[in-house]
Chain A
Amino acid sequence: MKKIIIGIFLTFVSFSVFAHGPSPQKVEKSITINASPDKVWAIVKDFGSFQKWEPLVTDIKLEKKGEDTLRTLTLKSGGKVIERLKGIDEEAMKLKYEIIEGAVPVADYNSFIVVSKGSNPNESNVTWVGRFYRVYKLNPPIPAGQDDESALKAVNEIYDAGLPALKKLAESK
């Protein structure tokens, strides 16, 4: 029985991660923050403290698996998401990560967050970009919740909640 459950789980994982629609989707959002780039970058690059500035995440668990750094997010909506840190570029102030699997209706989600200088030393710009596909891999009709619109809506919600909260956190410190 246990094996069957694991089997079903693995099937689900490989389905949601590897197969996807034909056209990638993009969400790109930016915000200006009245804090120095160093200060904002220190918050952004702390991969295990994402819940401090993402209101849609209620809990986070950071773990090392071999060479991989993974975080498991518990969403406000109840589901879980496993994400992998792909890289931290200190010079460019850029963090790259991907979704391994979970409750966000996307496939092959890759993202980066980059902090850049603003118009004065106490100002920063943060840009958050995601490239991903819908979950459903076959031809229409596409089941509800697995289409491009559902994928875009979910990612937009995460970014729209996170960036103002990041601004608030960085400016209050």
Chain B
Amino acid sequence: MTYKNLFLLILYLSLNACSSLPIAYITNQGSNTVSVVDIKNRKITHEIPVGNGPVGVAISLKQNYGFITNANDGSVDVLDLYQNKIVKKIIIGGTPVGITKSTDERYIFVSDWFNNKIIIIETKSLSVIKKIKVGKSPSGMICDDQGKYLFISNRDENTVEIYNQSSLSLFKKIKVGKHPYGVFFRKNLLFVVNVLDDSISIIDINTFNIETIKVGDHPYGVVSDIKNEFIFVTNTQDDDISVIDLIQKKEIKKIKVGGNPEGIDIDERNHLLVISNWRSDSISIIDVIKQEYLYDVKTGKQSRSFGQFIKIE
């Protein structure tokens, strides 16, 4: 190799290291694995065996762990993001579905669907430190970026609960549509999908004003763009996503994706959406700015990825 080539190689490698490489952690219910997907290079880099019926994902960059809920065997797997392997299985019993990290990433909250509880895992010790009773069938969860609140959707009682993140005391309970599931929070707005109403509820947590907007058939997941101008909702039974304009407060576009899209997350740096498709065993990538479909990447079987599942290096 000539010096010039060597120089170019080093330049190339260092440029690559500086650019942000989004990695998606996709739970595959049908193959009991997590697919680690390099979004830009469109390929699976690792396929990691996990527990039975993996659904939810939370990524803690501070701790370098991914947390996976296994709904069918009552466990949470801890994935080391450097080594790409499971380093601990935390048995919590019940039916863990939703999962999210606290704002400071010191804790992981897990929703136990059928026991109506939230299990709190400490990320340092990787052990369960507390359980609290919440509403019926707690599903989606997310925290605000100030560290004040934990939001929970309770599927079987059609409510959203807002807990004080540090004291874990109930701050407010709000009625939403039928079967609230996926949730997302940005700025002052909490977004909740109502699966059986084919709608989303948008709650302003300063005024507690609620607006409801129609979307497609059986919506599951929702995210908003960085400016809170648009939201994107997966419609599981329509094989598309709804693009909602938050100023006009209505759906302005539908974008076709794979079969039975469930989980959705946003890569804010690269302006990409990643959607996991349960029926077609793939993820679909969408350009957030152009609001256009880009490409699919094959994953394991029955991909779900419930929660925030993208890591940006």
> Which of A28, A86, A139 is close to B114, meaning CB atoms less than 8 Å apart?
A139
Query: Is there contact, CB below 8 Å, between A22 and B279?
Result: no
Query: Is there contact, CB below 8 Å, between A110 and B71?
Result: no
Query: Is there contact, CB below 8 Å, between B156 and A22?
Result: no
> Which of A96, A129, A139 is close to B95, meaning CB atoms less than 8 Å apart?
A139
Which residue of chain B has its CB nearest to the CB of A131? B260
Which residue of chain B has its CB nearest to the CB of A86? B217
Query: Is there contact, CB below 8 Å, between A22 and B196?
Result: no
Assess whether B202 is interfacial by the CB under 8 Å rule. Answer: no
Question: How far does the alpha carbon of A129 sit from the alpha carbon of B95 in the complex, in Å?
Answer: 26
- A138-B114, A139-B94, A139-B114 given as contacts; is B72 within 8 A of A110 (CB)? no
Assess whether B41 is interfacial by the CB under 8 Å rule. Answer: no
> B29 to chain A: which residues have CB within 8 Å?
23-24
> B114 to chain A: which residues have CB within 8 Å?
22, 137-139
Which residue of chain B has its CB nearest to the CB of A137? B114
Question: How far does the alpha carbon of A22 sit from the alpha carbon of B138 in the complex, in Å?
Answer: 12
> B94 to chain A: which residues have CB within 8 Å?
139
Question: How far does the alpha carbon of A131 sit from the alpha carbon of B114 in the complex, in Å?
Answer: 21
Assess whether B275 is interfacial by the CB under 8 Å rule. Answer: no
Assess whether A18 is interfacial by the CB under 8 Å rule. Answer: yes
Assess whether A82 is interfacial by the CB under 8 Å rule. Answer: no
Mask of B86-101 contacts with A, CB within 8 angstroms, 1/0: 0000000111010000
Query: Is there contact, CB below 8 Å, between A22 and B260?
Result: no
In A57-107, which residues have CB < 8 Å from any B CB? 86, 96
- A131-B279, A139-B115 given as contacts; is B237 within 8 A of A22 (CB)? no
Which residue of chain A has its CB nearest to the CB of B136? A19
Query: Is there contact, CB below 8 Å, between B95 and A22?
Result: yes
- A131-B260, A139-B95, A139-B115 given as contacts; is B217 within 8 A of A22 (CB)? no
- A18-B179, A139-B115 given as contacts; is B278 within 8 A of A23 (CB)? no
Query: Is there contact, CB below 8 Å, between B279 and A26?
Result: yes
Query: Is there contact, CB below 8 Å, between A24 and B53?
Result: no
Question: How far does the alpha carbon of A22 sit from the alpha carbon of B259 in the complex, in Å?
Answer: 19
Which residue of chain A has its CB nearest to the CB of B113? A22
Query: Is there contact, CB below 8 Å, between A18 and B156?
Result: yes
In B27-82, which residues have CB < 8 Å from any A CB? 29-30, 53, 55, 71-72, 74
Question: How far does the alpha carbon of A137 sit from the alpha carbon of B74 in the complex, in Å?
Answer: 14
Residues of A participating in the B interface, judged by any CB pair closer than 8 Å: 18-19, 22-24, 26, 28, 86, 96, 110, 129, 131, 137-139
13 residue pairs bridging A and B, Cβ less than 8 Å apart: A18-B156, A18-B196, A23-B29, A23-B71, A24-B29, A26-B278, A26-B279, A86-B237, A96-B217, A96-B237, A129-B279, A131-B278, A139-B74
Residues of B participating in the A interface, judged by any CB pair closer than 8 Å: 29-30, 53, 55, 71-72, 74, 93-95, 97, 113-115, 137, 156, 179, 196, 217-218, 236-237, 259-260, 278-279, 302
Known: A18-B179, A24-B302, A86-B237. 10 other contacts (CB 8 A): A23-B71, A24-B29, A24-B260, A26-B302, A86-B217, A110-B237, A129-B279, A131-B236, A139-B94, A139-B95
